[in-house]
């Protein structure tokens, strides 16, 4: 079977690919979206949790943000502890700095929501627009010329289909096949340290609507509420159920995972008629909850550029943003992993400095994801 519709082919239906399909469709640009998996990310094993203010402002245009806010868990406070002792409790309302934009003022919280929920909301939104993700469909290979890309897919039936698209966009995650086959470099480094996380039902722990970071020399323990009595515990070391101070409150563990942190990104986000969005183009530490959000930004930016016929500008527009976020998350992670005296002093006293106006503003912008360029189409 041959498909030749000249549409854009999106490879991967994670948060980046689904956002791209949503934004292209909203702008009247036809696309086909495929994923080799049988369906969206499992609800239990959710990697991303944080849906930040920048993503909220981007997906508000399609009405998706409202649904995500309704389904998610809003963060009202951040508790900052040193060695188990509370150093500062910051209200998100008080962090709300004037960003000079309506969207920035409207969306001034982090919403915690499982990646699987975000994906399902986007999939249902696309279904309402008659865009169906083709599951169990894998991009095997492709070739491009100056104006189009021919590709081969392994369809759900097992048949090999060939087709032609005006552009092929790899939203196919950290191990992106589009990136590998497209000849993109993906340089960077990996930390030796392992991190662990646990999602669990808790009893007797009052952390609803509150993010807690408990820093100690060389160690970090975070607690993030997913629902009123369900939390994610995360630790930059092993044996989380033994070491995390809040593990004693866990009554039912839903998911436990160990992972290592890498910092890698492409040198270019596009080659000819192929483009990359999200983890396919950059991976970094989960500190700050930026990964999924950065992919949503990439995708929305690329859709806007396509609508203007300016997609050649995409790579130059996104490279500095990804570089900045990688650097920031690497600095934050290094600081958390460090047990030096200087770092201990910073971790002990920085929470108190957050009330200073300049620090308050830069902290708010970074926490909310508003430290990346304001979306040009919203100006």
Ligand X SMILES: Cc1cc2nc3c(=O)[nH]c(=O)nc-3n(C[C@H](O)[C@H](O)[C@H](O)COP(=O)(O)OP(=O)(O)OC[C@H]3O[C@@H](n4cnc5c(N)ncnc54)[C@H](O)[C@@H]3O)c2cc1C
Segment contacting ligand X by CB under 6 A, of 60-68, 169-177, 266-274, 370-378: 169-177
| The one among 72, 104, 116, 173 contacting ligand X by CB under 6 A | 173
Nearest to 10 by CA among 224, 162, 165, 158: 165
Nearest approach in angstroms of CB 21 to ligand X is 11
Q: How far is CA 95 from CA 50, 214, 336, 370, 374, in A?
A: 17, 20, 22, 12, 19
One symbol per residue from 250 to 289: x for binding ligand X (CB under 6 A), - otherwise; what is it? Answer: ---------x------------------xx------x--x
Nearest approach in angstroms of CB 31 to ligand X is 14
Number of residues that bind ligand X (CB under 6 A): 33
| The one among 33, 126, 133, 292 contacting ligand X by CB under 6 A | 292
- Rounded Cα distance between 302 and 275, Å, is 9
Tell me whether residue 331 or residue 355 sits nearer to ligand X (CB atom).
331
Residue 111: CB atoms within 10 A of its CB come to 22
* CA-based max dimension of the chain: 65
Nearest approach in angstroms of CB 172 to ligand X is 4
**Residue 50 within binding range of ligand X, rule CB under 6 A:** yes
**Residue 171 within binding range of ligand X, rule CB under 6 A:** yes
Nearest approach in angstroms of CB 358 to ligand X is 26
Q: State residue 221 phi and psi, 5-degree precision.
A: -130, 120
Nearest approach in angstroms of CB 47 to ligand X is 3
Contact yes or no for 109/52 (Cβ under 8 A): no
**Residue 212 within binding range of ligand X, rule CB under 6 A:** no
**Residue 199 within binding range of ligand X, rule CB under 6 A:** no
| The one among 23, 35, 311, 371 contacting ligand X by CB under 6 A | 35
**Residue 47 within binding range of ligand X, rule CB under 6 A:** yes
SS3 281: coil
What does DSSP say about strands 187-202 and 210-216: parallel, antiparallel, or unpaired?
unpaired
Burial 59-80 (b: 16+ CB within 10 A, else e): bbbbebbebbbeebbebebbbb
**Residue 67 within binding range of ligand X, rule CB under 6 A:** no
Nearest to 106 by CA among 56, 51, 50, 49: 56
**Residue 291 within binding range of ligand X, rule CB under 6 A:** yes
| The one among 87, 114, 123, 172 contacting ligand X by CB under 6 A | 172
**Residue 293 within binding range of ligand X, rule CB under 6 A:** yes
Tell me whether residue 80 or residue 198 sits nearer to ligand X (CB atom).
198
Residues pairing with 143 in the sheet: 150
Cα-based angle 46, 48, 52 (whole degrees, multiple of 5): 140
Segment contacting ligand X by CB under 6 A, of 80-88, 99-107, 172-180, 183-191: 172-180
**Residue 15 within binding range of ligand X, rule CB under 6 A:** yes
- Rounded Cα distance between 193 and 259, Å, is 9
- Rounded Cα distance between 113 and 146, Å, is 41
- Rounded Cα distance between 143 and 182, Å, is 9
Tell me whether residue 225 or residue 278 sits nearer to ligand X (CB atom).
278
Tell me whether residue 95 or residue 211 sits nearer to ligand X (CB atom).
211
What is the distance of C-alpha 1 from the center of its chain? 35
One symbol per residue from 125 to 154: x for binding ligand X (CB under 6 A), - otherwise; what is it? Answer: -------------xx---------------
- Rounded Cα distance between 278 and 14, Å, is 9
What does DSSP say about strands 210-216 and 2-11: parallel, antiparallel, or unpaired?
unpaired
**Residue 76 within binding range of ligand X, rule CB under 6 A:** no
**Residue 225 within binding range of ligand X, rule CB under 6 A:** no
Residues found near ligand X in the complex (CB under 6 A): 11-17, 34-37, 47-50, 115, 138-139, 171-173, 177, 197, 259, 278-279, 286, 289-293, 295
């Amino acid at each position: 079977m041959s498909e030749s519709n000249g549409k854009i082919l999106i490879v991967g239906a994670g948060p980046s690919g689904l956002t791209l399909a949503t934004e292209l469709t909203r702008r009247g640009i036809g696309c086909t979206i495929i994923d080799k998996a049988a369906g969206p990310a499992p609800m239990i094993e959710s990697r991303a949790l944080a849906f930040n203010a920048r993503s909220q402002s981007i997906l508000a245009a399609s009405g998706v943000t409202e649904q995500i806010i309704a389904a998610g868990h809003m963060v009202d406070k951040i508790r900052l502890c040193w060695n188990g002792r509370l150093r500062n409790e910051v209200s998100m309302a008080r962090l709300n700095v004037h960003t000079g934009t309506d969207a920035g003022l409207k969306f001034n919280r982090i919403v915690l929501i499982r990646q699987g929920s975000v994906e399902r909301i986007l999939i249902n939104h696309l279904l309402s627009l008659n865009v169906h993700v083709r599951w169990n469909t894998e991009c095997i290979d492709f070739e491009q010329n100056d104006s189009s890309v021919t590709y081969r897919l392994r369809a759900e039936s097992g048949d090999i289909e060939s087709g032609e698209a005006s552009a092929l966009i790899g939203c196919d995650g950290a191990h992106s096949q589009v990136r590998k086959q497209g000849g993109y470099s993906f340089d960077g480094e990996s930390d030796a340290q392992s991190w662990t996380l646990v999602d669990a039902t808790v009893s007797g722990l009052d952390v609803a609507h509150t993010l807690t970071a408990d820093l100690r020399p060389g160690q970090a323990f975070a607690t993030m509420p997913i629902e009123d009595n369900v939390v994610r515990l995360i630790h930059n070391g092993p044996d989380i159920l033994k070491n995390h101070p809040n593990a004693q409150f866990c009554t039912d563990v839903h998911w436990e995972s160990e992972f290592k942190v890498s910092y890698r990104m492409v040198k270019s986000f596009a080659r000819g008629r192929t483009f990359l969005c999200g983890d396919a183009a950059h991976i970094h530490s989960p500190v700050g909850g930026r990964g999924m959000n950065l992919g949503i930004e990439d995708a929305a930016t690329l859709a806007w550029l396509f609508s203007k016929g300016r997609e050649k500008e995409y790579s130059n527009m996104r490279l500095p943003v990804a570089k900045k976020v990688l650097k920031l998350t690497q600095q934050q992670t290094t600081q958390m992993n460090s047990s030096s005296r200087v770092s201990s002093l910073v971790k002990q006293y920085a929470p108190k400095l957050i009330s200073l106006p300049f620090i308050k503003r830069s902290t708010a912008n970074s926490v909310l994801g508003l430290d990346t360029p304001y979306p040009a189409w919203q100006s």
